[in-house]
Amino acid sequence: MARQPTRARGDSMTAVEFTDDDVRWMRRALALANHAAALEEVPVGAVLVRDGILLGEGWNAPISSCDASHHAEIAAIREANRSVNNYRLPGSTLYVTLEPCTMCFGALIHARVKRLFYATEQRAGVLVSQLQLADSGFYNHEIHVKGGLLADESAALLRQFFRSRRVSN
As a whole number of angstroms, the distance between CA 133 and CA 152 comes to 24
Residue among 57, 73, 99, 121 flagged as catalytic: 73
Contacts of 72 (CB under 8 A, 6+ apart): 29, 32, 33, 36, 44, 45, 46, 58, 59, 60, 96, 97, 98
Q: For the chain, how many residues are written?
A: 169
Query: Beta strands 53-59 and 93-98: pairing type?
Result: unpaired
- Judged by DSSP in three states, 19 sits in coil
Q: Catalytic site residue 73?
A: yes
As a whole number of angstroms, the distance between CA 10 and CA 112 comes to 22
Contacts of 55 (CB under 8 A, 6+ apart): 48, 49, 79, 80, 83, 84, 89, 92
Phi, psi of 2 (to 5 degrees): -90, 135
Active site positions, annotated? 73
